[in-house]
Amino acid sequence: MDKENIPETADEVAPISFKDLGLDDTILRALDEKGYEKPTPIQVEAIPYLLSGRDLIGGSQTGTGKTAAFALPILSNMDGNQHDPRVLIVEPTRELAQQVIEQLELYGKHRPAKSVLLHGGVGYGKQKDALKSGVDIVVATPGRLLDHISQKTLTLKNVKVLILDEADRMLDMGFMPDVRRILKLCPKKRQSLLFSATIPPEIERLSQSMLRDPVQIKIGGGRKPAETIQHNIYPVDDRQKFDLLVALLEKLDYHSVLIFTRTKVGADTISRWLDETNHGPVGVLHSDRKQKERDKSMADFKSGKIEILVATDIVARGIDISGVSHVINYDIPLHPEDYVHRIGRTGRAERSGDAVTLLTAGEMQYFRAIERFIEQEIPLQKLESFDYNWSPLFAKLGQPKKKKRNRGYVPQSHY
Ligand code: AMP
């Protein structure tokens, strides 16, 4: 049993077993082999409804066992093989899609259901071959899914269950027109599930057109970061951000650090600078990187081969990397929800983690928005040993104003 993977709120559940929820024996066997002892709260709530065919709208945080909450009843209800897919799971990113298929394969190992993963950035050949030989479950990102449909290598006319995961993320990424096209291509008579951390008006409208009398489930208090996370905010002058990052890395007792930047160029630059200053090997993950590189960075980071991964928000949501010791926001996120998602990569499953954020003078408004969003005041702090340039933010620390030269690393180029 991988105890470290037990989602944070699992212990609050009354002693209800997976068997009590009515799951099929083949699924129970797989769960037993995986070592899951009991269902998490969202699983207890959602599984009976989903087994009975109800629609559902879920606001559950990732890390709560959300994927299994929908994967287990779907697999349990699946019988016999047909050629065209009966279950469609749409994910905003390739990494999330990959993660879902891994869980489906794990829980469905004693079941004859066949799953296929369809995402961009890789060739069509293998995906077409898999579709040709018949599949039960498709897990896909929107663009590649529509490509297959237009090439007539896939039809959605037999879909009985449609799952839209991380819908607000799809909205942010501009996928809503694709999502609406996909909905139109599925039969009207179907079971539909929609998961979204936040419900902006566009998702609200989507849910009204997509769902019939849905059960609403919200677990994990969307805004609340895990209590095991320590928030550390370091004001710094713009020109000293990289120096402070290096000083912090040198001070931190880290074994796996995720560093978030706002832009793809930023992620490339920071990783290159870290390499140049002998902090490598460093992995990079953003949407302009080739799929092979993305897979390799993720695999190397997960296995501990590399200790630092620099990424854009593409990995902030949902990605399940257990044991991240520190999340560093090199650039403060502009949307407070993204702060919660980013730092949610650490402190998972009751492990303690540290979240470090660099804050420059022009970004105070974003910091205040985060404080309001998570309903918590976070004190600003300074790294004792660091030779700071003066920043107006230090006034908020009650520090004397003093100006120092930037003596640190001078990068070859700026981003
Ligand atoms: P998710 O919220 O789907 O990202 O799941 C977070 C992690 O919890 C994944 O690594 C799952 O394998 C794991 N998990 C899901 N359900 C359970 C359970 N009932 N007991 C232990 N671990 C679980």
> pLDDT below 50 — which residues of the chain?
1-14, 348-351, 399-415
Q: Is the peptide bond before 411 cis (omega within 30 degrees of 0)?
A: no
Six-digit token pair at 90?
Answer: 């749409």
Contacts of 139 (CB under 8 A, 6+ apart): 89, 91, 97, 100, 101, 104, 115, 116, 117, 118
210 and 243 housed in the same domain:
no
Listed in sequence order, the DSSP H helices in 211-283 are 241-251, 264-276
- 362/360 Cα distance (integer angstroms): 6
55 and 15 housed in the same domain:
yes
Least Cα distance to 169 among 232, 98, 108, 95 occurs for 95
Top mutation candidate among 40, 102, 103 for ligand 1, by most atoms within 8 Å of CB? 40
215 and 233 housed in the same domain:
no
Domain boundary among 197, 219, 241: 219
Distance of CA 19 to the CA centre of its chain: 29
β-pairing, 257-260 with 56-58? unpaired
SS3 372: helix
Tell me the β-bridge partners of 139.
Answer: 89, 117
343 and 368 housed in the same domain:
yes
**Residue 406 belongs to some domain of the structure:** yes
Q: What is the structure's pLDDT at 295? A: 86
227-255 burial string, b = 16+ CB within 10 Å, else e? eebebbbbbbbeebbbbbbbbbbeeeebe
SS3 50: helix
CATH code at position 313: 3.40.50.300
| Residues flanking ligand 1, CB < 6 Å | 5-7, 36, 39-40, 43, 62-68, 320
143 and 244 housed in the same domain:
no
Give the end-to-end CA distance of the chain in Å, rounded to a whole number.
45
Task: Give the Å distance between the CA of 307 and the centre of ligand 1.
Answer: 23
Amino acid 152 reads K
Q: Give me the phi and psi of 237, to 5 degrees please.
A: -70, 145
**Residue 410 belongs to some domain of the structure:** yes
**Residue 181 belongs to some domain of the structure:** yes
Domain boundary among 164, 192, 219: 219
**Residue 224 belongs to some domain of the structure:** no
Q: Indicate the number of domains in the chain.
A: 2
158 and 272 housed in the same domain:
no
CA of 60, closest atom in ligand 1: 2
Distance of CA 316 to the CA centre of its chain: 5
**Residue 92 belongs to some domain of the structure:** yes
55 and 197 housed in the same domain:
yes
Least Cα distance to 209 among 238, 229, 179 occurs for 179
Six-digit token pair at 407?
Answer: 């003596």
- 353/228 Cα distance (integer angstroms): 6
300 and 339 housed in the same domain:
yes
56 and 149 housed in the same domain:
yes
244 and 98 housed in the same domain:
no
Task: Give the Å distance between the CA of 371 and the centre of ligand 1.
Answer: 28
β-pairing, 326-329 with 282-285? unpaired
| CA distances, 37 to each of 54, 74, 77, 103, 351 (Å) | 26, 20, 22, 16, 19
Q: What is the structure's pLDDT at 218? A: 77
Q: Are the CB atoms for 156 and 184 separated by under 8 Å?
A: no
Task: Give the Å distance between the CA of 7 and the centre of ligand 1.
Answer: 6
**Residue 372 belongs to some domain of the structure:** yes
Residue 267 structural domain: 229-414
- 164/144 Cα distance (integer angstroms): 15
Contacts of 108 (CB under 8 A, 6+ apart): 27, 30, 71, 75, 78, 115
CA of 38, closest atom in ligand 1: 19
2-24 burial string, b = 16+ CB within 10 Å, else e? eeebbbbbbeeeeeeebeebebb
Is the sign of the CA dihedral 46, 64, 179, 118 positive or negative? negative
277 and 397 housed in the same domain:
yes
Task: Give the Å distance between the CA of 10 and the centre of ligand 1.
Answer: 10
Top mutation candidate among 320, 324, 348, 351 for ligand 1, by most atoms within 8 Å of CB? 320
Residue 223, classified by CB atoms within 10 Å of its CB into exposed (0-12), middle (13-18) or buried (19+), is middle
Q: What is the structure's pLDDT at 197? A: 80
**Residue 379 belongs to some domain of the structure:** yes
The protein residue whose alpha carbon is closest to atom 8 in ligand 1 is 65
- Model confidence over 241-291: pLDDT tens digits? 999 999 999 988 888 899 999 999 999 999 999 999 999 899 998 888 888
β-pairing, 137-140 with 326-329? unpaired
154 and 174 housed in the same domain:
yes
Domain boundary among 174, 200, 219: 219
